[in-house]
Amino acid sequence: MTNKILKKLLDGNKEYIDAKRNHLGDISKEIREKTHHYGQKPFACIICCSDSRVIPEKIFMVGIGSIFVIRIAGNVLDNYGLGSVEYAIHHLNTKLIMVLGHTKCGAVTSAIHKETGEYVSYLLKEIEDAIDGEEDITKASMKNVMHTVSKVKSLLPKNDDSYSVVGAIYHILSGKVEIL
């Protein structure tokens, strides 16, 4: 079973290597070479959930080097995640940071239902604090996004309004991104 899954991944990688463009944008050998030699210059940093239905490169139809993506269940940020955002801001000069939550978020649902686990409890505690007792999953997801937005705002350079942090919700059913 796992051999078939691994083969599927590797077959997809072969297709990717030979592709010039796809519906997402430039994924060619040339853009891989350019970003290899000259580095990345993403125009946005997206902090989102690890949910397999939430794929920022596809949601925003972009190719290689366009967005700097930080993914973790529940789109929460610990010190490592904050360090990644800080890197995007100060080293990559990424001006727009988006915290992208989504509908039907399993991590938010788990936090609402007070589920536990050895390591997942770290995520759920952060989400529980953010949602403050909200039981509607979509409203709780929005509150969770805005909690992360407030953390990210503390990383922005002082007295420089060229940077922006926005919160958004991706609606899994429609595919629409709603800015909060």
Considering only residues 80 and 12, tell me which one the structure prediction assigns the higher pLDDT. Answer: 80
> Tokens at residue 65, please?
């080097």
**pLDDT score, position 51:** 97
What pLDDT is attached to residue 22? 61
Per the CB < 8 A criterion, the answer to whether 74 and 107 are in contact is yes
CATH 2.130.10.10 fits 40-179, yes or no: no
pLDDT for 21 equals: 60
Point out which residues pair with 96 in neighbouring strands: 44, 164
Look over the chain and give the mean of its residue pLDDT values, rounded to a whole number: 93
Statement: residue 14 has pLDDT above 80: yes
Residue count (the chain) = 180
Question: Can you tell me the distance from the alpha carbon of 148 to that of 152, in angstroms, rounded to the nearest whole number?
Answer: 6
Cα of 153 vs its chain's centroid, Å: 16
> How confident is the model over 96-154, as pLDDT tens digits?
999 999 999 999 999 999 999 999 999 999 999 999 999 999 999 999 999 999 999 99
Cβ contact 163:152 at 8 Å? no
Mean pLDDT calculated for residue range 49-54: 97
State the pLDDT confidence band at 23, using cuts at 50, 70 and 90.
low
CATH 3.40.1050.10 occupies which residues in the chain?
40-179
Beta strands in the chain (DSSP E): 21-22, 25-26, 44-48, 67-71, 96-102, 164-170, 177-179
